[in-house]
Structures are given as C-alpha cells and as structure tokens.
C-alpha cells in the first residue's frame, strides 16, 4: 500500500521543490550576485505569481494531478500573507502540494514540464 501524505506535508516539500527549480534556472541564466538572485527568485515564488502560474497549467493536469492540487488548495488556511488574496494563497498552496507529490513519486520530468509551462521558461 502506498504511503499517503497530508496535503500540508506535500505543500511543505513542494515549496522547496519550486524554490530549487527557480534557483537552478536563475544561476544557469548567469546571475551571480546573491542580492540579485534573491530578488529575482522572489518574483517567482510569491503566492500571486504561483497562482498565476498555476492557472496556466491547470488544463494540462491529469485527473490524479488535479485531485492533488485540489487537496492542497483546500487546506484550511489561517495565516494569509499581506500581499496575496485568500484565493491566490490557496492556489499557490495547491501548486506546492502538487509539486511535492510529483517529487515523492520520482516525477522530475513532469515537474520540469509543468514549471516550464507555468513560467514560460522566463526563469
């Protein structure tokens, strides 16, 4: 029987997966100063930006992927960031849960495919 992880645990891991994906692409793009790297990375990992990215890839998700996204999106949030709506924060959390789930499933190619489409490889 497969291990079932909580949506919160998947989102926790997925946050790191997205962060590493963004950081790797920024470094490969030639940026080198830590201030510049951090500023650019923040423009990709905020809740509003992740929600916009998620909207782009939602139609491309399989049924299983969409179910994991919904599980993450429906986590009861009590602390919202100042610069995001509740809807943006929920969608970003769903995206993080999806990426955590894909990572645990060894689906690095799918993570790369979805994040590349989500961010139009602007990173």
In CATH, what number is assigned to the domain containing residue 83?
Answer: 1.10.1520.10
Long-range contacts of 22-25 (CB under 8 A, 24+ apart): 22/119, 22/123, 25/121, 25/123
For residue 20, give its domain range: 7-118
Work out how many domains the chain is built from and give that number: 1
Is residue 74 in some structural domain?
Answer: yes
CB atoms within 10 A of CB 91: 24
64 has catalytic annotation: no
75 band by pLDDT with thresholds 50, 70 and 90: confident
Is residue 14 in some structural domain?
Answer: yes
Is residue 85 in some structural domain?
Answer: yes
Is residue 109 in some structural domain?
Answer: yes
pLDDT of residue 9: 95
| Contact criterion met (CB below 8 Å) for 45 and 22 | yes
Is residue 2 in some structural domain?
Answer: no
Is residue 34 in some structural domain?
Answer: yes
Residue bearing the bigger pLDDT, 57 or 121: 57
pLDDT of residue 83: 81
Q: Considering 10, 13, 14, 15, which one is annotated as catalytic?
A: 15
């Amino acid at each position: 029987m497969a291990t079932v992880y909580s949506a919160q645990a998947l989102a926790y891991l997925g946050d790191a997966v997205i962060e590493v994906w963004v950081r790797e692409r920024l470094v490969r793009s030639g940026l080198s100063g830590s201030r510049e790297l951090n500023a650019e990375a923040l423009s990709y990992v905020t809740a509003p930006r992740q929600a916009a990215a998620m909207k782009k890839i939602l139609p491309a998700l399989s049924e299983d992927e969409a179910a994991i996204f919904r599980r993450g999106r429906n986590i009861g949030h009590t602390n919202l960031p100042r610069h995001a709506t509740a809807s943006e924060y929920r969608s970003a959390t769903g995206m993080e849960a999806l990426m955590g789930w894909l990572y645990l499933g060894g689906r690095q190619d799918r993570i790369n495919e979805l994040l590349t489409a989500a961010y139009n490889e602007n990173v």
